[in-house]
Structure 1
Amino acid sequence: MADHAFRFEVTGLNCAGCAGRAERALATVPGVSEARVNLANRMAQVEGETTSEALREALKSAGYPAAESRQRLSIQGMNCASCVGRVERALLAVPGVLDARVNLASETAEITVLAGAVEAAQLAKVVIEAGYSASPTQDNARSETEDRRETETQELRRDLTIAAALTLPVFLGVMGSHIIPGMHHWIMATIGQTTWWAVQFVLTTLVLIWPGRRFFRIGLPLLAKGAPDMNSLVALGTLAAWSYSTVALFAPTLLPEASRAVYFEAAGVIINLILLGRFLEARAKGRTGAAIRRLVGLRPDTARVERDGAITEIPVDQITTGETLHLRPGERIAVDGEVLTGRSYVDESTITGEPVPVEKLPGAALVGGTVNGQGALSFRATAVGADTMLARIIALVEDAQGARLPVQALADRVVRWFVPAVIGLAALTVLAWLIFGPGLTFALVAGVSVLIIACPCAMGLATPTSIMVGTGRAAELGVLFRKGDALQRLDEVKVIAFDKTGTLTEGRPELVSSVAADGFDAARVLTLAASAEQGSEHPIARAMERAAGPNLPKPDEVEAVPGHGLRAKVDGQVILVGAPRLMAREGVDISPLGAALEEMEHKGQTPVLVAVDGRIAGAFAVADRVKPGARAAIDALRARGFEVALITGDTRATANAIGAEFGIPHIEAEVLPEGKLDAVKRLRDQFGPVAFCGDGINDAPALAEADVGLAIGTGTDVAIESADVVLVSGELSGAVNAVLASQSVMRNIRQNLFWAFGYNVALIPVAAGVFYPLTGWLLSPMLAAGAMAMSSVFVISNALRLRRLGGAGIPEIAAVQNPEGVPA
């Protein structure tokens, strides 16, 4: 039983009407709480408690079978038939599994799954949890899906070639007469009209029953069920033209003499043009998933693993958690891990979008899919398969790409009734021209043109293709939309609020300035203070140590003064390190540094005073440093018209200082975690929809309350799980990238919907001949087929422009992403 959301591939989808019918079929399955079908990537997403078999049967009955794939596991540790039964039951309980057969003799399992619902690595994990050793023998779920789509494209290419070869003589013979004077008379004189019509009949019939059979095989049964789709429109239009022409050829006396004409070339050319449109559409759709394929391609096929004292190269799918891997310079990291030995710099730009390589020392985390620099490393695998960051990113992107935005609701409602309405309109057009027009031939041409031109494909593709390309490109820029509808909600946001610590700032205190009293050297005083602090675990002590550097002298004595600081003896000198109240308690006069202390407090910095042998020696300001590029990101957001706010639990003085540095006018300071939620509500009441950006556990309530929550990817898991968007790199430039991606995708969707609706609104009346009495405009069925095919190609091509996000298309992203001018 499936008790959560899972995705799988659906076949036979050709238009938005198909997707809607498949979606409604899934929604009627008992236990399904929500079902969505995406035309662009042909994936269904189902939530609820139901069986995979019930979903398969529902789709099969609706005429849109679920795609299936086979997975194979190698299993060790089974000893008897009960072991086989236990493994089979464990596998059959996995959402998306249709059948599982375990062979005790060969120690293998053959699993049939809904394609795209579950990967071999996940199935192996289930078997391991059941108490046996298991590993995939091949990881082919995603490649099977890609192979299936490539096969479909090749079949379309083949059918188009055959259709074109059969139609070309008919087209040249009929249309050539309009170009080459005398051609028509030459054909009549050599073979005669009846023979020429018979040749057209044979060739066009072959086009319809061979490459064109796909339209009749799907469209006519759906028409009989009262649920016509785009295939039904094509089948009706071409069948009408072919049938009329066949009657004119073989039973001409059934038609008025003035109406005895054939339109075989129209039927043939319509099939050709629609096959061409579908072929171009399939090729373009392949490019919409390029981001996912690039992400999948980041993972190497093999890795060098240490087993039984020897280093062996094995498939990545066979790596298990805890194993030691060895990495050569320049190699791509196979799985997530923790460095054991070695030192190197790793290029993580493919995951985080940040161009500067990151130093890796023992204890540092490694991310699968990133590229090692010039050093050799050994590391321990901490996450493999579906648990790696790369796998989770791919899953998030796939989920976001299948999202249903509110803006799509109108298109869905229109599409649901569109095809039946078009068939009715075509019938009305024929009837009207039979009554008021010049005759049957004219009525047939107008009716067929209406059937052919009014296809809802473009409307169905308008939203999902833009989402697929936009979210994929955003992921490459280090922005993950965990919830696809956040794309639209982020576009509606008026104010963006930020947490301070870990979001605008680095999240750890650092020494930012120092002042020495007369007669003292600041560097020497810092060395004495840091030496005294060596035994302390306080973050400020660590900041002093980092600033002083290595090779500090060891203190002879250290005594903590709770709530004040500490006393120590270093190099024979008595050192006091702490707050002003420590100096007051010990009777140390701090007036020589009074002006410096006031300035530190004004800036919201924490002063650390140092006395040497009873005299004030220096004051050191410690503060949480602002992240590089954060100011540029805030400026970019304000330049795009956003209100910016700061919500922090820090002191009012610190918050005001940060607000002044960033130019943030709206500041909420000294706010408790639950108070952040109320602060978000107040901002919403004042400005409208709110986005909140934070990284800590205390930010989770605000992230959940905000209209859009933006989580810093380097923050806590709780914050990330509460957010709608994850900024993988941890840099504020990611917030700008997220906003620009949202605005660009929504603008692209609106363009697509305008084109799709406008195309039908403008051309259906022309096809029906509404303007013929006034202007003489009448759209031929061939031109109607060409226009219909090109409408879908236009929508997909427009969506593909989003692949330029962050490049020449939207330079703001590139500029903000690399604010320091570091070469990428």
Structure 2
Amino acid sequence: MVKDPVCGMDVDPKRAEYKLTYQGQEYYFCSKACMEEFSRDPKRYLSGGHHEGHVHHSSDLKRRLIASLILTIPIFFTSDVAEDLGISLGIHQGIIGLISASLLFLYGGYPFLRGAVSELKERSPGMMLLVSIGISASFFYSLYSFLSGGSKAFYLELALLIDIMLIGHFIEAKVISAATSSMDLLVRLLPYGAHLISDGSYRDVPVRELKPGDIVLVKPGERVPADGVIIEGVSSFDESILTGESAPVVRGKGGSVIAGSINLEGAVKIEVKRTGEDSYLGQVERLIKEIRSSRSRFKEIADKAAFFLTIFVIASGAITLAYWSLNGHSLGFAIERAVSVVVVACPHALGLAIPIVIQRTAMLSSSRGILLKSREALERAKDVKVIVFDKTGTLTEGKFRVKRVEALNGFDELEVLKLAASLDYLSSHPVARAIVRKAEEEGIKLVDVREFRSIPGVGVEGIVEGRRVSITAGSDILESGSTAVQIIVDGALAGIVELEDDPKEGVERAIEELKGMGYEVHMLTGDRRAVASKLSERLGIDSYHAEVKPHEKVDIIREMQEKGLAVAMVGDGINDAPALLQADVGIAIGAGTDIAIESADVILVRSDIRDVVYFFKLAKSSYRKMLENVLWAIGYNSLTIPLAAGALAGLVVIGPAMGALIMSMSDIIVVLNAISLNVK
């Protein structure tokens, strides 16, 4: 097994689908996204300065740490501390100390020295440069002291500084790996092979060779190799790792299945619909990669702060060196203070403050079946004051059932139902599907339709049996709270179909929680005012707008924004797409239309309205964690720089080794604080 240089995952070279050669070396990748990310900037992932990717894998850090600890032993026995304890070597102390320190400096300090060179080349000085200055100053002053016959050496300080920095990086790499392992697991959910059915026989092929239209067999206990539709068989599927839905879901003929889900019971035949990057799993992988690589405004501010802090620290170190040198102290004491300043004030914690929270947030959201299409959506969500919901399919089940059919102006009920169902057969609207189902239950035979046209937010029309038929919403004839559509034949009102649609499970509780969190909750619907009023009162919604067209939804949201309110829109239909784009945060129900999903910033795969509550809790919690981390990193530096410079030299002195320990602990605190992020 080898490591993916981008995400650090184990990859089998013999089975790896993605690989490329760079500077004569072959690299293997877990996914196309990682390979493309690497190809854009290989040096970033092969240099020591890349911390977000953690190229210094824990195995390499472990080897260097063990070697450094071994080299520290002879350094300790040649130090003043050992001499004071009466356990020093007593002979050739200078030579043994110099040789051990040189090996330690070159091998244990190599990641930091290489990282410093990388940071200078990229003109982004940071932690690696500061650590390199610290260990270089300690080593070269000690070398100068040895060559000039002096007795002052920083060999032990150098050793402890490198040891502690390596320990800190090793722990950090392990913690971050644990924080992101659940998210990285998504890209490994697909099986390697699939049972392709071709010409009446089965043959096993690699999953990457599947294409839309292929028929595959999935046996009990196997993972589904591609997104598709069941054409034969019934089984239950475990989709928990993909959607967060813990209970198995039963799928039969015509049911959709997701690549990576586990077939628990029966054998099924599936027609492949989407593969690779077009599949659900591929989209999740792509979105996660985009979130990882994208930069937020908050992160840019943190990076700028870290850059200027680095410059400030170097200047502070130089000033500290000059101050103590010019005030009667030895050069060794002055260098020790300067090195302490440089080491203790490394802005590494500030650099980690944002990315590690973002990674934890992406992992939590994806495990819940919430896909964030951009990091900016998470940032904007924290400012949202108003949440606007579509009604049908969002707050309600969208599974209408016909309550009654009323014929008017001499038309027969069955005739009205026949004309309406024939026209609605060509529509995908939930109301249309309910009318078609009712006609099928009544045994009505549908007829062909010509010149069919669908008008979003209005209705449908066409020529049925030589008559122009249109179906529109918003009838004022019914005063009940039920949904109703009117059927017009050749300009005359032929009848009314009244339908019912129940609220989704958990909607009332979700609305109550959102209001408890301080949000205003509104509803926009193209349905009749009586229907909207009844549902709004039942759910406790603050206000509603009924009988609105798609462009009017946009206007309503824009009016709210002009009042200075940040607005989130939750919807699922074609008529919601413009409003989703206009809103500060667009949230699409995963079971909705493709165009609604493409228009949204956030996708709720489970179509569970309670996930809206979870998303906003997560947005607020992640922002709070980012703020805590940044404030900790800044406050830590503000406190430790004066102490390291010797402001309280008579009471407290922070040496280079102690500075490294404090700095490493600061990093670990930031990481642990980030991974403690959780939402109930």
Contact 2:417/2:439 (<8 A) preserved: no
Distance 1:224 1:300 in 2: 42
Q: Give, in whole Å, the separation in 1 of the partners of 2:56 and 2:347.
A: 25
Q: Would you say the 8 A contact 1:453–1:784 is kept in 2? A: yes
State the alpha-carbon separation in 2 of the partners of residues 639 and 749 from structure 1: 24
Find the aligned partners of 1:784 and 1:121 in 2 and give their Cα distance: 39
Letter in 2 for 1:677: V
Contact 1:396 1:480 survives alignment (8 Å): yes
Match among 631, 640, 650 for residue 527 of structure 2: 650
Picking from 280, 304, 328, the partner of 2:219 is 328
Asked if 1:158 corresponds to 2:63, the answer is yes
Change in CA separation of 1:42 and 1:686 when aligned onto 2, cut-off 3 Å: farther
Does the CA-based 8 Å contact 1:711-1:726 persist in structure 2? yes
8 Å Cα contact 1:100-1:112 kept in structure 2:
no
Corresponding residue number in structure 1 for 2:132 = 235
CA distance 1:223–1:98, change in 2 (3 Å): closer
Aligned length: 616
SS at match of 2:57: helix
Q: Which moved more, 1:627-636 or 1:495-504?
A: 627-636
* 1:787 CA drift (Å): 1.3
Superimposed CA distance per residue, residues 701-723 of structure 1 (whole angstroms, 9 cap, x where no aligned partner): 11111111111111112111111
**Distance in 2 (alpha carbons) for counterparts of 1:100 and 1:334:** 35
Q: Deviations over 1:739-788 (max 9, x none)?
A: 12211211111111111111111111111112225xx2210110001111
Q: Distance in 2 between matches of 1:449 and 1:692?
A: 52
- Out of 663, 666, 669, which is 1:791 matched to? 666
Instruction: Report the structure number with the largest CA radius of gyration.
Output: 1
* Code of the aligned partner of 1:603: G
Question: Is residue 494 of structure 2 the alignment partner of residue 603 of structure 1?
Answer: no
What SS does structure 2 have at the residue aligned with 1:289? helix
Q: Is 1:198 aligned with 2:98?
A: no
Residue 348 of structure 2: which of 439, 450, 457 is its match? 457
Structure 2: 5+ residue stretches without partners: 38-49, 407-411, 425-429, 446-458, 460-470, 487-495
- Does the 8 Å contact 1:71/1:111 carry over to 2? no
> AA paired with 2:676?
R
Q: Which residue of 1 aligns with 2:258?
A: 367
Question: 2:372·2:601 contact (CA, 8 Å) conserved in 1?
Answer: yes
Kept after mapping to 2: 8 A contact 1:680/1:705 = yes
Q: Distance in 1 between matches of 2:235 and 2:554?
A: 42
The one-letter code of the counterpart of 2:252 is L
Corresponding residue number in structure 2 for 1:625? 502
Post-superposition CA distance 1:328-356 (Å, at most 9, x none): 22322110111111122333333332334
Aligned 1:388-537 pairs, distance under 5 A: 388-511=279-402, 533=417, 536-537=421-422
Secondary structure of the residue aligned to 2:400 is strand
Distance 1:175 1:737, change over 3 A: farther
Displacement of 1:210 in angstroms is 2.2
Structure 2 residue identity aligned to 1:719: A
For 1:191, give the aligned amino acid.
G
8 A Cα contact 1:72 1:120, kept in partner: no
Letter in 2 for 1:402: S
Structure 2 SS opposite 1:240 = helix
Q: Is the 8 A contact 1:331 1:372 kept in 2?
A: yes
Cα distance, 1:314 vs structure 2 = 2.4
Tell me which residue corresponds to 1:277.
Answer: 168
Distance 1:309 1:529, change over 3 A: same
Q: Is the 8 A contact 1:166 1:204 kept in 2?
A: yes
Q: Deviations over 1:292-346 (max 9, x none)?
A: 3221232122221113432122221222222111122232211011111112233
The 1:304–1:222 alpha-carbon spacing in structure 2 relative to 1, beyond 3 Å, is closer
- The Cα of 1:413 is off from its aligned counterpart by 1.5
Code of the aligned partner of 2:86: W
The within-5 A match list for 1:289-308 is 289-308=180-199
Q: 1:510 to 1:175 in 2, by over 3 A?
A: farther
3-state DSSP of counterpart to 1:503: coil
Tell me the residue number matched to 2:627: 750
Please, which of 686, 692, 714 is the counterpart of residue 569 of structure 2?
692
TM-score (norm 2): 0.81
**Paired residues of 1:603 and 1:653 also in contact (CA < 8 A):** yes
Structure 1 contact 630–733 (Cα < 8 Å) conserved: yes
Alignment deviations for residues 784-809 of structure 1 (CA, whole Å, 9 cap, x no partner)? 0111122222222222223xx3xxxx
Report the equivalent of 1:566: none
One-letter identity of the residue aligned with 2:239? E
> Please, which of 225, 246, 270 is the counterpart of residue 355 of structure 1?
246
Counterpart residue number, 2:655: 780
Task: Tell me, yes or no, if the aligned pair for 1:166 and 1:203 is still in contact at 8 Å.
Answer: yes
Question: Distance between the aligned counterparts of 2:438 and 2:399, measured in 1?
Answer: 13
Q: Quick one: distance in 1 between partners of 2:130 and 2:109? A: 13
Contact 2:5 2:27 in 1 (8 A): no
Q: CA deviation at 1:168?
A: 2.7
Match of 1:611 in 2: none
Partners of 2:568 and 2:114 lie apart in 1 by 50
Q: Against the structure 1 CA distance between its residues 403 and 244, is the aligned structure 2 distance closer, same or farther, given a 3 Å change threshold?
A: same
What is the match of residue 558 of structure 1? none
Conserved in 1, the CA contact under 8 Å of 2:30 and 2:187? no
Do structure 1's residue 262 and structure 2's residue 173 form an aligned pair? Answer: no
Alignment correspondent of 1:184: 84
Q: Could you tell me how far apart the structure 1 residues matched to 2:213 and 2:317 are? A: 67
Matching of residues 23-172 of structure 1 within 5 Å = 118=33, 152-171=57-76
2:272 alignment partner AA: A
Report the equivalent of 2:228: 337
Distance in structure 2 (CA, Å) of the matches to 1:275 and 1:436 = 35
CA deviation vs aligned residue, 1:255-279 (integer Å, no higher than 9, x gap): 6xxxx42221001111111111111
CA separation in 1, counterparts of 2:71 and 2:114?
Answer: 20
Residue 379 of structure 1: aligned partner: 270
Change (3 A) 1:377 1:70: closer
Distance, in Å, in 2 between the alignment partners of 1:226 and 1:402 is: 20
**In 2, Cα distance between the equivalents of 1:358 and 1:621?**
32
Task: Give, in angstroms, the shift of residue 100 of structure 1.
Answer: 14
Indicate the larger mover: 237-246 or 690-699: 237-246
- The one-letter code of the counterpart of 1:493 is V
Whole-angstrom distance in 1 between the partners of 2:502 and 2:81 = 77
- Could you tell me which residue of structure 1 aligns to residue 645 of structure 2? 768
Kindly tell me: are residues 686 and 623 of structure 1, through their superposed partners in 2, closer, same or farther at Cα, counting changes over 3 Å? farther
Q: 1:306 to 1:642 in 2, by over 3 A?
A: same
**How far is 1:451 from its partner?**
1.5
Measured in 2, the distance between the counterparts of 1:540 and 1:678 equals 25
CA distance in 1, matches of 2:221, 2:36: 27
2:142 maps to 245
Contact 2:405 2:413 in 1 (8 A): no
Deviation digits for residues 69-116 of structure 1 (CA, Å, limit 9, x no counterpart): 999999xxxxxxxxxxxxxxxx9xxxx988999xxxxxxxx9989997
Distance in 2 (alpha carbons) for counterparts of 1:466 and 1:279: 19
Partner of 1:84: none
Q: Which moved more, 1:664-673 or 1:401-410?
A: 401-410
Is 1:694–1:719's contact at 8 Å kept on the other side of the alignment? yes
Q: Please tell me the residue identity of whatever aligns with 2:634.
A: F
Give the RMSD, CA atoms, in angstroms: 4.0
Q: Residues 761, 99 of structure 1: CA spacing in aligned structure 2 closer, same or farther, 3 A cutoff?
A: closer
How many angstroms apart in 2 are the aligned matches of 1:452 and 1:713?
49
Q: 1:541 to 1:475 in 2, by over 3 A?
A: closer
Question: In the aligned structure 1, how far is the partner of 2:26 from the partner of 2:658?
Answer: 48
Paired position in structure 2 for 1:521: none
